[in-house]
Amino acid sequence: KPVKLCAINLSGPTFEDAAFADYVLDAIERHGVSPRHLCFEITETAAVSNMARAVEFMQRLRAAGCKFSLDDFGSGMASFGYLKNLPVDYIKIDGSFIRNIETDPVSYSIVRAVTDIGHQLGLQVIGEWVADERARDLLRGLSVDYAQGFAVHKPEPALCFRDPPRS
């Protein structure tokens, strides 16, 4: 089964490191990995001290075809600042809101609002910690683009990300 996207978590300081961007671009070329299969995630709780450098890092990798996600959205105080300043493709709503979406009207409202904001900004929205069919159905009803969790699929070992040879 081909891999569509591999998400890789990075720390805040990593997003500010120009040498790491060079390393990633070199590794992509050296190993024949298609950048369109890579999504780098910055967790909302990661500390980005130099926003301009982080944006430059992201723009370099995006130019190569990589994607970026703002992970654990809503778990800390930086959510909207990061959303405003970082060129991301996806918002991953923190699982603490998804976990209680069936029984907590506040969690439901937050997921609905974040999904609406994400879509208005042209981003795709992912719900984390989707543990059962009911939660998955609620997310679908809220137009959340993707679900991640045991209700979708159990984790698997890493697969090969190389594109098949062309004939």
Which CATH number do you get for residue 96?
3.20.20.450
The answer to whether residue 90 is domain-embedded is: yes
**What's the domain range around 50?**
6-147
Contact 29, 64 (CB under 8 A): no
* pLDDT tens for the chain, residues 1 to 167: 556 888 999 988 888 888 999 999 999 999 999 999 999 999 877 778 888 888 999 999 999 999 999 999 988 776 788 899 899 999 999 999 999 999 999 999 999 999 999 999 999 999 999 999 999 999 999 999 999 998 888 776 665 545 554 54
Contact 69, 83 (CB under 8 A): no
The answer to whether residue 130 is domain-embedded is: yes
The answer to whether residue 161 is domain-embedded is: no
pLDDT of 81 reads: 85
This prediction has a pTM of: 0.86
Backbone angles phi, psi at 84, to 5 degrees: -70, -35
The answer to whether residue 153 is domain-embedded is: no
How many domains does the structure of the chain reveal?
1
The answer to whether residue 45 is domain-embedded is: yes
The answer to whether residue 143 is domain-embedded is: yes
3-state secondary structure of 155: coil
The answer to whether residue 1 is domain-embedded is: no
The answer to whether residue 86 is domain-embedded is: yes
pLDDT of 153 reads: 82
pLDDT of 78 reads: 67
Provide the pairing of β-strand 6-10 with 38-43. parallel
Contact 66, 32 (CB under 8 A): no
